[in-house]
Structure 1
Amino acid sequence: MKKKTIAFLLSMIMLVGTLIGCSNESGSEGEGSGSEDEVVKLRMMAYNPESTRTTYLQMLDEKLPNIEIEFEFVALDNFNNVLNAQLQAGEGPDIIEVGGEAKLLAKANYLLDLSDKDFTSKYVDAGLKPYSVDGGIYATPLQSWFEGIFYNKTIFEENGVEVPKTWDELIAISKKLAENGVKPQTMGAQSWEPMMKQSIGLVNNEFYADEANSDFDNKFNEGEAKLAEAWLPAVKEWSKIIDEEILTDDMLGLSYDQALDQFATGKAAMWESGPWAVPTILEKNPDIEIGMFPIPGTEEGPGWLIGGPGSALAINANSDYIDEAIQVLELTATEEAQLALVEDNAGSSFLEGVEVDLGEIYTDSEEAFKAGNVYAPWTAVWTSGNPIVQSYGKSLQEVLAGTKTVKEALQDADETNDNLRQTLN
């Protein structure tokens, strides 16, 4: 019954919500492994495209000649539907890229417990925590992810504006840009994600920066705390960007790709996203000069980025090739593999002793990185993170459309959390 209940929750992730090929029969560890000369095919299902893993996959091919990785990309908006259908059928990929749904998958016994594997000890606790349940470790982290606000340095310079240090300054420079005939910020609000992430950037500054709130997320998991009470002041502060018509309802018709194109081609001065977008931006406009600044708070400070432990690799507990899948995760827990991951998708590593130079684009965010001001509660702590933030993000779309209030959007997220928590219990 427990497995069916959690399977139901997993199917709900994409119905309310922040990742087909050949199948495998159920088998014990080591069962079905090939001989030393036989090449074993492992299917890796991921919601980050192959272009973000090119160098890493090439390294796996060179270092593990006995293993062939069949990389299967499934877009995030359909990933959990596809994955859950396969897992419920006793099938699924051998290696799974997991994010906010990892705890639910682990509770449903779909993921192999890796806690007895030596390579897990090479990662710092912060990287393993999102993928740990009841003392078990069910995935190991890839590079961190983060988002801030990209800006066009040339447009800023030509219009005499500087990187904002407070939210009010961001509003002020946006108004100045608009007065000069420049679109201040573009946003692909056709997706529920960007407003959700940007608003939580204000929450990071105004709420999570206060140590008195350090236990809030655990209380939220238990239903003892509500977003509509704790987060409301910060999200109201963020919503000034809607009140001042910097984010506008026509952006609800813009896709991620359309917003990226507007920024890359100089039609907008700012755009919220992460390092994975940089290659496409530079491909569209090789001469563009860009930087990224963290989301500022109401008072001057280092600011905060949205992010933290990004996605991770887990092993399907029913894979026929568990030994080979473990070899992949063992190799991933090396400095060479970590640097290969960062090569195509900038981020920091959770492997102890590995340092990464992110480059000049992120100079304006250095103080935030040094302060450790990178956080996304739905991936770090929340049990049902993805469906909660999707519910919240979709409600923010209604806020932008003028049909819902910020408080109602937070109440929707609280209701989703309560419903999923009660179902789990």
Structure 2
Amino acid sequence: MKRRLSLILASLLLISTIGCSSNSQQISHQKDILTQKKSEGKLQITVLVKHAFSINSFEKAVEEKFPDIDIVQVGNYTSALNPDEYVARMKHDDLTDIVMTWPLDFGEEYFKDRLLDLSSYSFTTKYNVSMLDTIQKDGKLYYLPGPAQIRGLVYNKTLFEENGWEVPKNYDEFIELCTTIESTGIRAIQLGFKNPEVLDTAFVGFSYGSSFATPKDTQWIQNYSQGNGNFLDHFETALTTFQDMIDLGIWKKEDLDIDYSQRENIFFSRQSAMIEDSVLIARSGFKISGSTDEFALMPFFNPGGAGNDWARLYMVCYIGLNKHLADTQNKNKLNAVLEIMDYISTPEGQEALAADTGAMYSSLKDVPPIDVAETRDIVDALAHGRYGIFKELPNIQGTLRQGLAKMLTGELTVEQVGALIDEANRNQTSAAPNLEILGTATRNFSLLETGNFITDTMKNYTSSDIALFLDGGKDGRYNSKGVTAKMYEGDITTNDIKRILPDFKYGEKGELQEITMTGENLINTLEYSIPVDNDQTGWFYYFSGLKMKYDPTNEPGSRIEEIKLADGTDLDLTAEYTITIIKDSVPSEYIISSKNLDLLLGDLLEESIRNSKVIEPSTDNRFIYE
């Protein structure tokens, strides 16, 4: 029987987070769906979660410890995997209650007006003073350091045992091991230098002891960033080590063509014996590839004999609080959040934060290094203080990466790279990237309004009946195919397009398609969406060409309560409709026909804003939910 439903206009569900605009001390994410869970009257505490850092276990632990609290995760997933979304939220005073961020310094000019100073709260006394000293700003503490991910050289333990390879104890043994492995036709180590930042790992990891480990090293780097000295005065040993590893065939020119995800495939298919990563990847072999091998971590080895092995600490998050929690009307929420912060500042809370991310190194006092099966070969370095956070070098990091890449291709020598870096340091071109201003937004968009703008642009380009674009993920689940951020009032730049689009994975780029689908299967698509990362519950879509009443907290299959076409006519379940989508974003079994449009969504959005010059949010109330 045909399903004919009529649209009933209803009040929008408002899921609020603390925030502020220039005109108000309280702002709600109006029209936005921040969670698909039923809160059942609990106090919602929103948490901005950085890309690739899961707090699902932490959410569960907090909600068990504080039964009246509902943690709502708000994902920060930009297509460029950069901190621009944090900066935009800081600038426009659009923060969640709790903010988890990394890197630390981006948006620093907004800290005073956007974040609470935590320095007077008692829970700060539980942290290592050295950690707090490195992140305080003018005597104020806007973030607490979360636990750090333990990283090192992840090796295939099963492969090592089968071949009689032993974990080395120093740099010379490491080089000998690599040579032995390479002689078998297996790559000894593959980092994936197509991602330029991974060049930093190779440079710093095998030279940390000689160039980065001491306060004297830190002081030299600070002086150099002010234009003093020559790069090779301090880093000739590090560059020479990098060149030696090229000459020995450990780093190869073709590594520049391997990206981060490809190196995982190479590693888990036994084409390489080592990569650089964490316990999390060491435990993910079966999930990623079906590999039943065992994996573990060893430290980075530096030239200089025994006792020169180093673990890497990767700060996965710093934790701050929205300053508007201190506003009078938010007293109850502030008290709840401070309880959570006190919990975070205990070994139990640190363990909960680390639960989804593998072995972590706590920032708290008197907490010993975690000792699990995967870290047995690296725990000695941790226990004896041979660890560090790999920091970027001010002014010249990009130039250093260019120089390292050209060393791999044989275009530059150690001396030439040093001269290249010195020139960049003297010029110290700190100008912002050349971002094109595409147009202007008349006011802030909500997340829903941003989705409407995207789908309207898609539909108008093809003159299709409907356009669909996925939500970017809710409640700690990320689908890499949907809306990830909002557009804000003022200039819209090319960088804003990168912000609002997802971090497309698996080679996707956001290619546009026009498909046909029956009305019945359109409803099935809207109800169930597509499974992502083995999650069968699906996501929801933003749309153009429809009006719909929808309950995101219902089980898939019973979410749509009312639906019509945009002109008010009923959706015909047997009719075929043309729908504009991005490739692979709807269930393939429902597609009758498809046509590639040879256009990327990002390019279409840029061109649309250029042509329009001024954009504003839609006000048609097409998406009603409660």
TM-score, normalising length: structure 1:
0.79
Deviation at 1:257, TM superposition (A): 1.8
- Select the residue among 110, 125, 137 that pairs with 1:121: 125
Are 1:239 and 2:219 counterparts?
no
The residue number in structure 2 matching 1:25 is 20
In structure 2, C-alpha distance between the alignment counterparts of 1:421 and 1:225, rounded to whole Å: 19
Structure 1 distance, partners of 2:218, 2:45, is 44
Task: Quote the Cα distance in structure 2 between the aligned partners of 1:108 and 1:420.
Answer: 25
Q: 1:66 to 1:164 in 2, by over 3 A?
A: closer
Decide whether aligned partners of structure 1 residues 393 and 330 sit closer, same or farther in structure 2, where only a CA change above 3 A counts: farther
- Name the CA shift for 1:76/1:388 in 2 (closer, same or farther; >3 Å): farther
Give the match for residue 98 of structure 2.
95
For the 8 Å contact 1:159–1:180, the answer to whether it is kept is no
User: Residue 362 of structure 1: which of 375, 385, 398 is its match?
Assistant: 375
Partner residue in 2 for 1:260? 264
Shift in Å, 1:337: 1.0
Question: Which one-letter code corresponds to 1:95 in the other structure?
Answer: I
CA pair 107-314 structure 1, distance change in 2 beyond 3 A: same
C-alpha distance after superposition, 1:83-121 (max 9, x if no partner): 222322232443332333437526753433211121111
Say if 1:129 and 1:87 are closer, same or farther in 2 by CA, change over 3 A: same
Q: Is the 8 A contact 1:42 1:325 kept in 2?
A: no
Q: Could you report, residue by residue, the CA deviation over 1:186-209 in whole angstroms, capped at 9, with x for unpaired residues?
A: 222121232212211232122345
Aligned pair in 2 of structure 1 residues 100, 413: CA closer, same or farther (>3 Å)?
farther
Task: Provide Cα deviations, 1:280-319, integer angstroms capped at 9, x if missing partner.
Answer: 2242345312222111121222311222654211224456
Give 1:143's aligned residue: 147
| 2:381 is the counterpart of 1:373 | no
Give the equivalent residue in structure 1 for 2:539: none
Q: Deviations over 1:231-258 (max 9, x none)?
A: 1212211332222222222222222122
Instruction: Choose the corresponding residue for 1:163, options 167, 170, 183.
Output: 167
Contact 1:196–1:393 under 8 Å retained in 2: yes
- How many angstroms apart in 1 are the aligned matches of 2:273 and 2:58? 33
What per-residue deviation string (whole Å, max 9, x for no partner) do you get for residues 207-238 of structure 1? 34567546334434555455443112122113
State the distance in 2 between where 1:409 and 1:116 align: 47
Matches within 5 A, 1:12-411: 24-26=19-21, 39-50=43-54, 53-64=55-66, 65-74=68-77, 77-102=80-105, 105=108, 109=112, 110-209=114-213, 213=217, 215-220=219-224, 222-224=226-228, 227-283=231-287, 284-285=289-290, 287-302=292-307, 303-307=309-313, 309-317=315-323, 323=334, 324-345=336-357, 346-376=359-389, 378=391, 389=397, 392-406=400-414, 411=420
User: Which structure is higher in strand share?
Assistant: 2
1:131–1:154: structure 2 CA closer, same or farther, 3 Å change rule? same
Residues 298 and 378 of structure 2 are in contact (CA less than 8 Å); yes or no, is this contact kept in structure 1? yes
- 2:46 partner SS: strand
Change (3 A) 1:293 1:340: same
1:305 match: secondary structure: strand
Rounded Cα–Cα distance in structure 1 between residues aligned with 2:414 and 2:341: 42
Q: Quick one: structure 1 residues 76 and 326, their matched pair in 2 at CA, closer, same or farther if it must change by over 3 Å?
A: farther
SS in 2 for 1:269: strand
Is contact 1:306–1:376 with CA below 8 Å preserved after alignment?
Answer: yes
Q: 1:192 to 1:340 in 2, by over 3 A?
A: same
Cα 1:233–1:176 change in 2 (3 A) is same
How far does residue 139 in structure 1 lie from its aligned partner after superposition? 0.8
Structure 2: how far apart are the matches of 1:404 and 1:261?
Answer: 30
Q: 2: distance between equivalents of 1:301 and 1:316? A: 47
Superposed displacement of residue 259, structure 1: 0.9
Deviations 1:336-393 (A, max 9, x none): 21111232221121122434533122111122112211112527xx7x5xx7545533
Gaps of 5+ in 1: 1-20
Q: How far does residue 22 in structure 1 lie from its aligned partner after superposition? A: 7.9
Alpha carbons of 1:414 and 1:198: their partners in 2 closer, same or farther (altered >3 Å)?
farther
Between 185-194 and 307-316, report the one with greater CA deviation: 307-316
Q: 1:111-144: CA deviations, max 9, x gaps?
A: 3321112111111123323321121112111112
Select the structure that is richer in helix: 1
CA distance in 1, matches of 2:312, 2:386: 8
Counterpart of 1:219 in 2: which secondary structure? Answer: helix
The alpha-carbon deviation at position 177 of structure 1 amounts to 1.6
How far apart are the structure 1 equivalents of 2:402 and 2:338? 38
Q: Does the 8 Å CA contact 2:286/2:292 hold for their aligned counterparts?
A: yes
d(CA) in 1 for partners of 2:257, 2:212: 32
CA distance in 2, matches of 1:186, 1:232: 24
Aligned length: 392
Name the CA distance, whole Å, in 2 between partners of 1:87 and 1:107. Answer: 6
**Alignment check: 8 A CA contact 2:283 2:295 kept:** no
Q: Secondary structure at the match of 1:336?
A: helix
The answer to whether the 8 A contact 1:392-1:412 is kept is yes
The letter of the residue matching 1:243 is D
- Which structure has more relative contact order (CA 8 Å, sep 6+)? It is 1
User: In 2 relative to 1, CA 211–312 (structure 1 residues): closer, same or farther, beyond 3 Å?
Assistant: closer
CA distance in 2, matches of 1:343, 1:101: 22
Does the 8 A contact of 1:94 with 1:315 survive in 2? yes
Q: Over aligned residues, Cα RMSD in angstroms?
A: 3.5
SS of 2:376's equivalent in the other structure is helix
Residue type of the alignment partner of 1:88: K
**Gaps in structure 2 of 5+ consecutive residues:** 1-15, 29-40, 433-626
Matched with 2:424 is 415
What TM-score do the two structures reach when normalised by structure 2? 0.55
For the pair shown, the structure with the greater C-alpha radius of gyration is 2
Cα deviation, residue 152, structure 1: 1.7
